[in-house]
Structure 1
Amino acid sequence: MTNTVEDTMTTIATAEPVLQVEGLTTSFRVGGTWRKVVRDMSFSVAPRETVAIVGESGSGKSVTSLSIMRLLPKYSSRIEGSVRLGGRDLLALSDEEMRKVRGNDISMIFQEPMTSLNPIFPIGKQISEAILCHRDVSKAEAKREVLQLLDKVRIPNAMNRFDEFPHQFSGGMRQRVMIAMALASRPKLLIADEPTTALDVTIQGQILDLIKELQDEEGMAVLFITHDMGVVAEVSDRTIVMFRGDAVETGTTDDIFHRGNHPYTRALLSAVPRLGSMNGRENPASFPIIDIASGALTRAEEEGPDPAPHDQPVLSVQNLVTRFDIRSGLFSRRTGAVHAVENVSFSVKPGETLSLVGESGCGKSTTGRSITRLVEPTSGTIEVDGYNVRQLDPATLRKMRRTIQMVFQDPFASLDPRMTAGRAVMEPFIEHKLGSTARARDKAADLFERVGLSAEMMDRYPHEFSGGQRQRIAIARSLMLDPKVIIADEAVSALDVSIKAQVCNLLLDLQKDFNLAYLFISHDMAVVERVSHRVAVMYLGEIVEIGPRQAVFENPQHPYTKKLMSAVPVPDPARRSLRRDLMTDEILSPVRPAGYVPPQRQYREVSEGHLVQVE
């Protein structure tokens, strides 16, 4: 039977710690000298207890976990202090002894399962290997245990999926496979390093529930590493806040959230988007920003721009369909199609933000790429600032793209690593022959200042910037051609919470200054609530609900919209014992057989402009 929170806390308080870390200091050799990146960390984790280490990229939280596991490079790193697991000092063990500890007494789940799973072996074989390496059992016994583990982590149809490969699983299901592998040897301690950061909100909710349930069932201690304060509130008993290699505050999660003293703790909490914080408001609002050093409020919350009610749409999409043929057999005959976008219609006015939300695979990004014809639509009408996009020849299409620009999720992938940041921003201006190189440099310097960077940074290369700074460069580049529409495709999804708040504020400021229309593509419902005028919810390539942001968030009608909202982690420790009971099914496939004719969808109007698909 599952313990209550009170019973669990009593058990934790009286139990011997599974992990005891004292004075942990980790250094890296940089240019012949040792630089400390984690300084004097001390904490413990008891059976059934979850301790969260929270902080932004570069704070040292992942290095702490890798130091405990002794997974850092041997000759360029140095680990000092004491790390005791069940009375044994892990730092004093030989390499061979430590290999027996890893995966047996301590298991670790990493952020990106696709880089942790071997793509050429079936998942069943990979989990079996974890069992066979540490225990004296037969292959048949190992397979039976793997099937039980796959059932335990709620992977449907485990027997048939045993021989499938990692690429045949969705992101959420791959993370479940990693959890099954981590649990294969029944570890005393599970280290979860950002296990939900890259996942859709509903999948994230399922993984958090799963870890809670398995912890109750197995009695494990969990060390949970994240930068998401909403996740911290829902999973952790105690929290350690890290900033630039130091533990700046430690306490129960309730104390940290309600009585946090350090300015950095308060800055992290102030930047967390909270679902429901916009109730009663029509327009977007910026995030309040707190200075990390002083704890002073450096930017108060400000209401975003209100689009002019009578303006004509600058972007209009009618009955958009995008499908990708599936061919197979000796003659590559068309046997089916991926119905990525199916009969989608919407419009966006100058100064307005329309957000497309939904899980991975619902067609959000394909919609954005179809509008710019980075992907060729199958049918439908797209009008951008007077251009009929689908009828444009290559020369006119190139000219049209000056009006509509895209900002992608990963700026490091969209910036040329061999090109300076200044040159990357100047390039569109030069390629479109809009002026001289000197004029392009002047305009780029002005945009660098507008997006919160210094013009002196123009001569640096992408690797010399942080993730948030690279995203600012991508935004500056998108503004170089004076567009009227910007498609932001998961533009803040991979950013730390405070950087995410700053970039969202920047987008709102630029919208106010340039009267920009945004198509904001995201799966982060709390951010969408903050930045949107209107919201469209997509599922399996179709819009199932669309309307003013206030109407959709305060009165959601479609079951899928309600499911998305119920899955959002809320930064409230009172929800520690919550179980969402979300369905563990994967999102259904948009693949259809050749000749399939989709049904005609009907919509009912709930209130003015608020439409819901009739099931």
Structure 2
Amino acid sequence: MIVLRTVWQPTEDRATRMTKPVLSVRDLTTSFRPDIYSPWTPVVRNIGFDVAAGETLAIVGESGSGKSVTSLSVMRLLPPRGSRIEGEIRLAGRDLLALPEQEMRKVRGGDIAMIFQEPMTSLNPMMTVGEQIAEAIRGHLSIGSAEARQETIRLFEKVRLPNAKERYDVYPHKLSGGQRQRVMIAMALATRPKLLIADEPTTALDVTIQGQILDLVKELQEETGMAVLFITHDMGVVAEVADRTLVMLRGDVVEDGPTAEIFGNGRHPYTRALLAAVPRLGSMAGRALPSTFGLIDTATGSRGAEREAAPPVADKPAVLEVKNLTTRFAVRSGLFSKVTGAVHAVENVSFSLQPGETLSLVGESGCGKSTTGRTILRLTKPFSGTVLVNGQEVGATDREALKSARRAVQMVFQDPFASLNPRIPIGASIAEPFLEQKLGGKAEARDKTAALMHRVGLLPTMMSRLPHEFSGGQRQRICIARALMLDPKVIIADEAVSALDVSIKAQVCNLLMELQESLGLAYLFISHDMAVVERVSHRVAVMYLGEIVEIGPRSAVFEAPQHSYTKKLMAAVPVPDPSRRRMRRNTEVEEIKSPFRIPGFVPPKSVYKEVSKDHFVQVRC
């Protein structure tokens, strides 16, 4: 059971700690130039702020606003040849910009530590996680190898890493995303820094792991009194961790103040737009159908109206039927690659999808959501079960049936940049499926590409541009246009908005709902973001360890969840309410259960109990 509790803090001690700034930044301007013949282009202009001991300052804004450049400027990690940092950056009174590089190296990792967004790119895959932290400790503290090992294990225990002693000799790839982020936090805390810079540390994590990491940072800050500079675009996270908030837009600070005041009385139109785009869990209570986001115009400050989506078409046959779908991956080991077990990625999953309906698959990483989507399209071979598209079974051996199914069912992936060929203009990428399926000539493909680009909010004149010339939101629109090129009946959106900024995420969700209404599309919406799922779904299926544990109408699942795992997911969602800043979830830090099973393992049979109309919850026999 997850219970929220308030953590009491002595008012006098906290107030005393927060009087002197640990970090003081004045008139910070950071500029870049591609070569010595080009002029300097400022990307951060005249930034100023203080962070006191025990205080958390959040810097918020969309991608390109200058958040990460600000943090890298503080650390002096920008390339010296192509960048220029002006102004004043003082850490406990020391001018960091005046320090020689050798002295600055002692500051980095010593007095200032940094947690990056993607821990896998920050950890050395050739070293065990324990060795990496011990190396950092020996580099800043004059202690021996045995003492460094003991200190590393103590830090693992401090960040609530399960089986701390055993984890010392484990390589990064054997840890989950949440566990790797805990390792990065342990590394950051190894030298007892005065300032911790957390750059989007929870963006790529599941909602339950994100909740644990946020609680952990708050608890460690209370224990050590360190200052925290928290960089994010998630306003729900800001509300839960920040004492003060600084809002950035295109390199400028547009608003700065106490977090409660920013959330309760944001004055700048951009601040209000960010807050309006935040999906709030519970905001759809009492509403049967999905609804678009009512976005605020950043120029005028006026808010657009929310619009209720259309109900699914109930009197037509299901456009997609999945029956007892099971997908397993054999695990081989030994000299002769003998099968020693199997990963039960998807186990006996069944559901149907009506025209015009959105069914969301939710759960943590590793629960089988993406594998389900890939198996439907036969991108992954199923172990057993059937998939029917428009009443026709999709068989791996029937090439024509498979080709027809892939025309009717298209997929939009999480990372649009990885989904597009960086060397091919986006017009050619969008037209490629049309030409590959031989649905028309090049002239027809070009005309349809132009029409679809206009439909998803892009200019047809952009067809000759390459993917890197677009923002993340624009690239996702390109992928949606490409998916629509074959006039599909179903789109599988696999974490299609998870990596987007909050306002771009809302815009793309609105676009998807508008396309659904005008084209009669059905969506299988795969996500771990429960607040977004509540906004866009007609029905919701909750997956855990490859199985659907609860499925039903969105209102029933969110307003009356029955399964303990569903309740756990919802309790972990950050709420954009600053009054919860001292709250804790008391989420148990437990070992991630493994879907690996020995050869011949027969899963226990599951039955489903109908708790209300069309609302089913798993019950073990």
SS at match of 2:583: coil
Can you list the C-alpha shifts for 1:548-572, whole angstroms capped at 9, x where unaligned? 0000000001010000000000000
C-alpha distance in structure 1 between counterparts of 2:190 and 2:237, whole Å: 25
Unaligned runs of 5+ in 2: 1-5
Q: 1:21 aligns with which of 5, 20, 25?
A: 25
Specify the alignment match of 1:348 in structure 2.
Answer: 353
Task: Report percent identity of matched pairs.
Answer: 68
8 Å Cα contact 2:7/2:584 also seen in 1: no
Backbone CA RMSD of aligned residues: 1.2
Residue 244 of structure 2 aligns with which residue? 238
- AA aligned to 2:354 is K
Letter in structure 2 aligned against 1:508: M
1:451 aligns with 2:456: yes
1:601 aligned to which of 598, 606, 611: 606
Could you say which residue in structure 1 is the equivalent of 2:420? Answer: 415
Deviation at 1:5, TM superposition (A): 7.9
State the distance in 2 between where 1:437 and 1:586 align.
54
Bigger mean CA offset, 382-391 vs 65-74? 382-391
Question: Of 310, 313, 330, which aligns to 1:308?
Answer: 313
CA–CA separation in structure 2 for the residues paired with 1:402 and 1:587: 37
The amino acid that maps onto 2:299 is A
Whole-angstrom CA distance in 2 between matches of 1:241 and 1:294: 18
SS of 1:289's equivalent in the other structure is coil
1:602 aligned counterpart, secondary structure:
strand
8 A Cα contact 1:2 1:216, kept in partner: no
Alpha-carbon separation, structure 1, partners of 2:294 and 2:7:
39
Question: Shift in Å at residue 391 of structure 1?
Answer: 5.7
1:33 counterpart SS class: coil
Residue 138 of structure 1 corresponds to which residue in structure 2? Answer: 144
- Matches of 1:614 and 1:504 in 2, distance apart? 34
Check whether the contact 2:378–2:396 (CA below 8 A) recurs between aligned residues.
Answer: no
Aligned-partner Cα distance in 2 for 1:480–1:493: 23
Higher mean C-alpha deviation, range 586-595 or range 551-560: 586-595
2:156 equivalent in structure 1: 150
Among 175, 178, 184, the alignment partner of 2:184 is 178
Cα distance in 1 for partners of 2:491, 2:568 equals 28
* 8 Å contact from structure 1 (residues 28, 37) kept in 2: yes
- TM-score (norm: length of structure 1): 0.98
The answer as to whether partners of 1:57 and 1:496 remain within 8 angstroms in 2 is yes
1:259 corresponds, among 265, 289, 309, to: 265
Per the alignment, residue 393 of structure 1 pairs with: 398
Whichever residue aligns with residue 90 of structure 1, its letter is L
Whether the 8 Å CA contact 1:23–1:82 is kept in 2: the answer is yes
Matches within 5 A, 1:69-84: 69-84=75-90
Residue 39 of structure 1 is matched in structure 2 by 45
SS in 1 for 2:567: helix
Structure 2 partner of 1:123: 129
1:168-247 equivalence runs, <5 A = 168-247=174-253
What is the SS of the residue equivalent to 1:401?
helix
Q: Specify the SS of the correspondent of 2:395.
A: helix
What amino acid does structure 2 have at the position aligned with 1:100?
K
Cα distance change, pair 399–86 in 1 and its aligned pair in 2 (3 A): same
Distance 1:553 1:128 in 2: 45
Partner of 1:517: 522
Q: Which residue of 2 aligns with 1:269?
A: 275
Amino acid at match of 1:360: S
2:557 alignment counterpart: 552
Partners of 1:351 and 1:3 lie apart in 2 by 49
What residue in structure 2 maps to residue 592 of structure 1?
597
TM-superposition CA deviations, 1:400-449 (whole Å, max 9, x none): 21000000000111111111111111111111111111011101100000
Matches of 1:343 and 1:292 in 2, distance apart?
Answer: 47
Question: Equivalents in 2 of 1:151, 1:583: separation in Å?
Answer: 14
- Taking the TM superposition and a 5 Å limit, the aligned residue runs for 1:417-496 are 417-496=422-501
CA distance in 1, matches of 2:388, 2:396: 10
Distance 2:288 2:346 in 1: 29
Q: Which residue of 2 aligns with 1:578?
A: 583
The letter of the residue matching 1:121 is M
Residues of 2 paired with 1:198 and 1:244: CA distance?
23
CA–CA distance in 2 between the matches of 1:205 and 1:391? Answer: 41
Cα separation, 2, equivalents of 1:385 and 1:309:
15
Residues 27 and 86 in structure 2, CA contact (< 8 A), matched pair in contact too: yes
Q: State whether residues 8 and 48 of structure 1, in contact with CA within 8 Å, keep that contact through their aligned partners in structure 2.
A: no
Alpha-carbon distance, 1:331 to partner = 1.4
Correspondence list, 1:325-344, <5 A: 325-344=330-349
Asked if residue 62 in structure 1 is aligned to residue 83 in structure 2, the reply is: no
The one-letter amino acid paired with 1:21 is V
AA at the equivalent of 1:20: S
| Cα contact 1:170–1:586 (8 A) shared by 2 | no
| 8 Å Cα contact 1:3-1:216 kept in structure 2 | no
Q: Deviations over 1:94-136 (max 9, x none)?
A: 0000000000000000000000000000000000011100111
2:10 and 2:613 map into 1 onto residues whose CA distance is: 44
2:395–2:401 CA contact under 8 A, matched in 1: no
Q: What SS does the corresponding residue of 2:322 show, helix, strand or coil?
A: strand
Q: 1:521-532, aligned counterparts within 5 Å? A: 521-532=526-537
d(CA) in 2 for partners of 1:183, 1:587: 24
SS at match of 1:290: coil
**Alignment match of 1:287 (pick from 287, 293, 297):** 293
Aligned pair 1:52/2:58, yes or no? yes
Task: Answer with 581-590 or 530-539: which moved more.
Answer: 581-590
Q: Which amino acid aligns with 1:550?
A: S
Shifted more, 575-584 versus 492-501: the winner is 575-584
SS in 1 for 2:215: helix
- Per the TM alignment, residue 161 of structure 1 is displaced from its structure 2 partner at its CA by 1.1
Does structure 2 retain, via aligned residues, the 8 Å contact 1:54–1:61? yes
Change (3 A) 1:397 1:463: same
| Secondary structure of the corresponding residue to residue 175 of structure 1 | helix
Provide the secondary structure at the position in 1 that maps to 2:509.
helix
Looking at structure 1, the residues matched to 613 and 83 of structure 2 have their Cα atoms a distance apart, in angstroms, of 61
Q: Matches of 1:378 and 1:75 in 2, distance apart?
A: 55
Tell me the amino acid that sits aligned with residue 233 of structure 1: A
SS at the partner of 2:21?
coil
CA contact (8 A) 2:47 2:252 kept: yes
Separation in 1, partners of 2:174, 2:459: 45
CA distance in structure 1 between the partners assigned to 2:40 and 2:187 by the alignment: 35
Partner of 2:408: 403
Spell out the pairing of 1:350-365 with structure 2 (5 A cutoff).
Answer: 350-365=355-370
- 3-state SS in 1 of match to 2:40: strand
Query: Equivalent residue of 2:606, what SS?
Result: coil
Q: What secondary structure is seen at the aligned counterpart in 1 of 2:584? A: coil
Letter paired with 1:327: R
- Residues 5 and 56 from structure 1, CA distance in 2 versus in 1: closer, same or farther, beyond 3 angstroms? farther
How far is 1:330 from its partner?
A: 1.5
- Structure 1 residue 380 and structure 2 residue 385: aligned? yes
Determine if contact 2:328/2:382 at 8 Å carries over to the other structure: yes
Q: More displaced, 336-345 or 21-30?
A: 21-30
Asked if the contact 1:5/1:577 (under 8 Å) is kept, the reply is no
> For 1:45-87, what per-residue CA distance to the aligned partner results, in whole angstroms no more than 9, with x for missing partners?
1111000000000000100000000000011100011111111
Determine the structure 1 residue equivalent to 2:93: 87
1:354 partner amino acid: L
